[in-house]
A and B are shown apart, each in its own frame.
Chain A
Amino acid sequence: MSDMTEAEAALVKHLADMEEDEALEIAERMLLEEEADPLRVLELCRTAMDIVGKRFEEGEYFLPELVLAGEMLDTIGAIAKPLIKQDESGPAKKLGKVLIGTVHGDLHDIGKNIVTFMLDINGFEVKDIGVDVPVATFIDEIRAYGPDVVGLSGFLTLAFDSMKETIAAFEAAGMRSDFKIMIGGGQIDETVRGYTGADAFGVNAVEAVALCKTWMGVAA
């Protein structure tokens, strides 16, 4: 996006630099006063989020920046989306479909929510089915949604067995080879990956995105 106007470049910079007030002021002016193309504004937001993701990957940004970025994106999205004309709003091409949830017995959701957000801004279609998800619900949701990747999240040590049971149930339902499985959460490591039978584990949201991109054949 080298062909940006000065205001557009300023919006991208403020978003990427976590300058919320300045970013929202420009976005609101563009959308509400100057009647800028809402799709163009959302495109600028994605450009900024790419920078945020890169800074996260490089260890400059951490969870607080991802959370604030998500918040800014939601605020601008809420203004922009109603302004999009019906015929323009066809779904953008997505890299792949990811179904994600916290396994049964575990109610933690912060990590899962961050992964969902990062996958979303990186071009994946994500369905988040919540916390404490029973095995049968995972199977029903997978049948209905047809994901390329299933993400199992869990923070407690009891999640080791819940993940193992959930993956065994995918096997028993004859769907194990239909998608890749990634696991993540505070106590997850290679030992747990082997124990549960998942394809891979990630220690943060960037690793989750990289795994999904690799599996979808997109350069990570």
Chain B
Amino acid sequence: MTIHDLAQGAEKVAYDARRQRILDCIALKQPDRMPVALYATFWLAKYGGLTCKELMYDYDKTAAVATRAVEEFEPDAIAPFVQVTAAGKSLEAIGFKQLQWPGHGVGDNQPFQYLDREYMKADEYDDFLFDPTGYYLRTYLPRVASAFEGFEDLPIFPGLHYFRLVAGIRPFAKPSVRAALEKVIAAAEEVDRFVGHAVAFNEGMAKKGYPLINGAIAVSPYDFIADYFRGATGMMKDLFRHKDKLLALLDKASEFLTRQTIATAKISGQEIVMIPIHWAPDAFMSGKQFETFWWPPFRKMMMGMIDAGLVPMPLWEADCTKRLETIRDIPAGKCIYWFERTDMVKAFEVLGDVVALRGNLSPSLMTTGTPQEVDAAVKHLVDRVWAKGGKLILDGAFGLPDETPVANVRAMFDAARRYAG
């Protein structure tokens, strides 16, 4: 039994109808009405009267407030709200260093923020390329999470054999390695509780008739290296200084990220894979750089996912207007392209016959506008995209901004029903 079979009776009918709207959009068929997605992170805190810290640390409160929001707005598809917010205890247990979150670097009522740093040095490309797993174990993991400190002392595995293999495991007796393993096990136990709560929420929502639209998550090869390894400026310099090694690593990452994404999506039973895209925007690199470094490894990854029956859902952040013609090169009816600031009308004109679209009420409108302005913005998208045959899944630009007044969320859902079924 999959998550799609959990609901019964009227809830099952509602679940199937909602899910079918999304599946129709993906297949470029006309659904019975324009679907609306509910995606939010810290907006839930504002909505439910919780602090950001409570949202990250209290599994039950987070699940309760998310359930309330889903039942109030009755969206066609939802985010795995517990999974995307309630990671506080796990982050703490693993000693995660790449993020600042409430109580750890930012105030109790502030959202978490990623720390852009150089987590991999420029001269480590060869190590990473030669043995990605060894590089992770002995170099990367201790740098990004304190629970792994001590893994530097692990043996070099490739080459261990026969009696050399027996002697080779000696480092596991070192106090540093032993302590690290104990910390990692303790952290994993917390992560197990976290995931248990996240799965319980997702299944509970499925039973109430609400399907997930981004149950699985992945990263593009370029963003993976830029954000989580080399840092923004390190990566930009590498385009000139380490071009060949960077291209080799992008290609390799494309392969292992595809394998990992397929494996985790299969476990979760979710075929739609959200891929937040950070470094593709028009302003961040030239067309030539995009077509050399960014797009080929990502396209290869998307093709691998499609071949495995998954639905890539890249969220193209910022303005990607100049990329539209390039990213059109993908089989029709297999993806959802979620746009943040790219003009949706323009995106529809270029991509409407190839992909479903998602988005994109602007953050400034949602946070500072009136319900009437939100209504008008929805009508604009309905008139210019949906009514012209665009397979649009309505949403905020990146879900709901944290500060969005509830009245504006209500206006978004009401307007969608009023103008597009």
Contacts and interface: CB of A to CB of B under 8 A. Distances in A.
B113 A108 contact: yes
A18 B240 contact: yes
A18 B239 CA distance: 11
The residue in A62, A71, A158 that gathers the most chain B C-beta atoms within 10 A of its C-beta is A62
A63 B282 CA distance: 10
B362 A191 contact: yes
Interface string A44-67: 000000000000000011111001
- Interface range, B side: 20 to 34
A178 B369 CA distance: 30
B375 to A, nearest CB: 16
A62 B233 contact: no
B286 A62 contact: yes
B363 A187 contact: yes
B286 A191 contact: no
Interface string B343-361: 0000000000000000000
Interface in B93-137: 100, 106-107, 110-111, 113, 115-116
Contact of A107 (B100, B283, B284): B100
The residue in B237, B317, B365 that gathers the most chain A C-beta atoms within 10 A of its C-beta is B237
A204 B284 CA distance: 10
A34 B240 CA distance: 28
Interface string A80-102: 00000000000000000000000
A195 B237 contact: no
A69 to B, nearest CB: 10
Contact of B403 (A67, A106, A107, A158): A158
A63 B284 CA distance: 5
B376 interface: no
Given A68-B240, A156-B111, A62 B285 contact: yes
A157 B361 CA distance: 14
Given A105-B110, A189-B362, A64 B236 contact: yes
B100 A157 contact: no
Contacts of B100: 107
Contacts of A189: 362, 364
Contacts of A192: 364, 368
Given A18-B240, A68-B237, A63 B365 contact: no
Contacts of A158: 110-111, 402-403
A62 B283 contact: yes
Contacts of A63: 236, 283-285
A191 B110 contact: no
Given A61-B286, A158-B402, A189-B364, A67 B318 contact: no
Contacts of A71: 237
B232 interface: yes
B401 interface: yes
B364 A160 contact: yes
Nearest to A20: B240
Interface in A161-198: 161, 186-189, 191-192, 195
A105 B403 CA distance: 13
Contacts of B285: 62-64
26 contacts: A20-B240, A61-B286, A62-B283, A62-B284, A63-B236, A63-B283, A64-B237, A68-B236, A105-B106, A105-B107, A107-B106, A108-B116, A109-B116, A156-B111, A157-B367, A157-B403, A158-B110, A158-B111, A160-B403, A161-B403, A187-B363, A187-B364, A188-B364, A189-B362, A189-B364, A192-B364
Interface of A: 18, 20, 60-64, 67-68, 71, 105-110, 156-158, 160-161, 186-189, 191-192, 195, 203-204
Interface of B: 100, 106-107, 110-111, 113, 115-116, 232-233, 236-237, 239-241, 283-286, 289, 317-318, 362-365, 367-369, 401-403
Given A63-B285, A156-B113, 4 more contacts: A62-B283, A108-B113, A157-B363, A157-B401
